[in-house]
Every structure is written in structure tokens, then in C-alpha cells.
A and B are shown apart, each in its own frame.
Chain A
């Protein structure tokens, strides 16, 4: 009877926890979107033969790729303004949004490397053949090289997303009310030590159920593209 009671209390708290997990998903989706966009430019920038483009792109990539995510998070939380005023109207930047921007930096840097690696993995002969047919460098990149890269970039990109999602609970440290934060709050509110294990297990399960299929899919795609 006691076990059933525990389970019932867990279910009671579930909507509260899931709402927090929704914020993890929202942050991860936003961060992967921003990171992929910025990372594409950084990655192509790294490949540029122009020194003024190539050098800063490589520097930014290395800087943000080799910094701990948590440190970047702290930077964004504490150095970004709490609100910005654009043309008279004040926009408040909630901490979850600032955390999202903090996560976007390492994602962009990692995606930059994915882009660079994928482009470099295309054999040099492809560039030469295109050049011999009169294609300019930029046209070769966009018409011939990148279309071949996209399939190669999808599996590592999905892995990056899974990694990002599992990193989002870091934002609890800077006060974002996501799944981990809400779990801690629930534990405190229940003040029942028997709840500790079940509630943290259900937190783990949420992340696992969401991330595992992504990892499987990425593995499957990787195999498919390799044999092609």
C-alpha cells in the first residue's frame, strides 16, 4: 500500500516535472537552431582562403569548443543585460533565454568543426573536377561540395543535439527552472526521503526516452551513409 502511495505522489508531481522538461527541450531546440546557423557561417569561415575571415573563425571555433559549457553559461548569465531596449520598448531577457544563448556558443563552435570536417572529407578530386569544368570556388562549394556534405553532417549534428539536451540541466545552477530544478523543488516540498530515488529515476527516464531514439537514429543514418 505504501508503494502505491509513493507512485501516486510521483504521478501527482509529474506534470510539474514535465513542464520543467519542456523548458529543457525548448532551450535545446532554440540553442541548436542558433548554434547551427552561426556554426555554418563559422565553419565556412574557417575554410575561407581570406585571412580576415578564416583567422577569426578558427579562433572563435577553438575558443568556444575548448571552454567548459558551464563557464560559457556563467558568462552569458552574468555578462548579458537583464533587459534590452530596442526603439523605446524594453525587452526583458529571462534567465532561461540567456542560458539558451550561453548554450548556443559551444554548439556553434562544435557545429563549425562538423562543417569544416565534412567539407574537408570530400576528396580533393571533386574540387579539381569542378574547377576543370569552369566552376568558381564558391559555386563549387555550394553546388557540388556542400550537397555531398549534408548527409555526412546529419549524424554528428544529431549527436551534438543529444549532447546539448543532456547539458541543459546545467542551467539549474544559474536559477533556470527546468527539469532538474523542479525535481529538487519537488523533493524539498515532499520532504520524504523515500521519494528521492523514484523521482530522480523518473527524471533520468525523461532524458533517456527523449535522447535515446535520437542517438539510435543518428547511428542508423551513419551506417546508411557509410555504405553508400
Chain B
């Protein structure tokens, strides 16, 4: 066992800055996330939450600062993208399943085509994951035939099938009808309870409070404060946090 690695953060952001044109959306972000932790990033819309998430797997390149995932330096221009995306999975607000592929193909295609793993092995894993997502009989359906909640659970299975070390959840319930939010949240919770490192951007305060180990509050491109949920929701110190919480709780 390697004890030193457990104290090292799996993911570290140091002084991360990002501008879109003249608008600076991230103005010096520092975050440490350890293996197995569940971290929720909350904050008003336009505060840069989703951008933080997208910088971690390199979808959004940064202007300044350092991001590391394990030994991978994400902001290195010569970074091995396949290796990075193997380790960091992502689930999107709009599911983004591939409509021309069956559910099983959606889940299995990237490990087969990108990671070059043998098909039978991947498909077996994909079926098992679909079972865990309570969609065992949907393998040969097309995404268009599923409800939003079911599609999002397929998207979670697709992320898991890459066998990542961390999964980024980008407002995964924001596009869902209310009655489907719960089934997706319980799927996310299951992933977290199985020991996956999870970073969630969410508006579901109740879920953040219950499921997260740590909460980061962002506003206008900076992290205003961060704390374990019990402290965060009971004793937020910054006036911006208090104002936000008074609006959403």
C-alpha cells in the first residue's frame, strides 16, 4: 500500500485562470480533491462552476495556473488526451448520448474504439453497469426511446465503462423533469458510495448536503469559501455565501 499517495490530492488546481475574450470567468481557482472524495461545487449561475469542471478534463483549456490529475499535467500542451480522458469521466447536463447508437453501443464504444479493449470484455462490463443503473432491459434501445432520467443513467454508465478514477457531473439533473431528478441522484449517490471520486456541479442543495464530503462555493470566478457540508450550510461566513444560501434554501 502506498500511504503517501492517499494524502496527496488526486486532483489539484493551482491559480487557475480562464478568460473568454475580455471576460475573465476564472480568476485564480485553487482546489484539492483526494481519492474517493465527493466534492460539490455550488454558486450562482455564471460564477464559473461548469468551467472549473471542464478545465479538469481539458475540455476548456486554461490561460494560467496548473491542473494535475494524478501525475498528469492537464494544462501541458503535449498531454496524452486519451490517458487523461481514461482517468477522468464526464456526465453532461444534456446527456449527449449518441442518438444513432444503441444504449449498449453508447456505453461500450469508447472503451473498444479509444482504449482498444476487447469487445466481449467491454460489453460484459457495459451490461453489468446498465444493470447497476437499473436499465438491464434497455441495452438494445436507442436513446430517443428513453426518458430523460433513463438517458442520464445511460450517460453515467457510459462514463463508468471507461473505468475512470474520477467523474465530473455537470448539472446532471438540471435538464430533467422533477419526477426524474430523484432516480438520477440516487444513481449518482450509488457511484459515490462505490468509492468513485466525484466532482459535482449542482443546484440540488439537499443532495450536496447529504452526499458531498466537501462543498466549494464559487462567485464571479473565485472560490469564496469551502467547508464540509455541515459547517457550510450552518455557519457560512462570507456574506456572498449567506446571500446565495438565503435565496436557494
Interface size for chain B: under 10, 10 to 19, 20 to 34, or 35 or more residues? Answer: 20 to 34
For residue A130, which residues in chain B have a CB less than 8 angstroms away from its CB? 98
B230 contacts the other chain (CB 8 A)? no
**Is there an interface contact between A132 and B89, defined as CB atoms closer than 8 Å?**
yes
**Is there an interface contact between A132 and B100, defined as CB atoms closer than 8 Å?**
no
B113 contacts the other chain (CB 8 A)? yes
**Is there an interface contact between A134 and B98, defined as CB atoms closer than 8 Å?**
no
A132, A134, A136, A139: residue with the most chain B Cβ atoms closer than 10 Å: A132
A135, chain B: closest CB distance, angstroms: 6
**Is there an interface contact between B114 and A135, defined as CB atoms closer than 8 Å?**
yes
For residue A71, which residues in chain B have a CB less than 8 angstroms away from its CB? none
For residue B100, which residues in chain A have a CB less than 8 angstroms away from its CB? 147-148
**Is there an interface contact between A125 and B92, defined as CB atoms closer than 8 Å?**
yes
For residue B98, which residues in chain A have a CB less than 8 angstroms away from its CB? 126, 129-130, 144, 148
Interface size on A, residues (CB 8 A): 18
CA distance A128 to B59 in the complex (A): 7
For residue B110, which residues in chain A have a CB less than 8 angstroms away from its CB? 133-135
Interface residues of B in 102-145 (CB under 8 A from A): 109-110, 113-115, 144
Contact of B162 among A126, A133, A139, A228 (CB under 8 A): A133
**Is there an interface contact between B59 and A134, defined as CB atoms closer than 8 Å?**
no
B29 contacts the other chain (CB 8 A)? no
A19 contacts the other chain (CB 8 A)? no
Interface residues of A in 56-70 (CB under 8 A from B): none
A216 contacts the other chain (CB 8 A)? no
A9 contacts the other chain (CB 8 A)? no
A136 to B, closest residue via Cβ: B81
A-B pairs with lowest CB-CB distance, top 7:
A129-B96, A134-B85, A133-B110, A125-B96, A134-B114, A132-B90, A134-B82
Additional A-B contact list (12), CB under 8 Å, known A133-B85, A134-B81, A228-B144? A123-B94, A128-B92, A129-B92, A133-B114, A133-B158, A134-B82, A134-B85, A134-B86, A134-B110, A134-B114, A136-B81, A139-B114
**Listed A/B pairs (21) with beta-carbon separation below 8 Å:** A125-B94, A125-B96, A126-B96, A128-B96, A129-B92, A129-B96, A131-B85, A132-B90, A133-B85, A133-B110, A133-B114, A134-B82, A134-B110, A134-B162, A135-B110, A136-B81, A139-B113, A143-B109, A144-B98, A148-B100, A228-B144
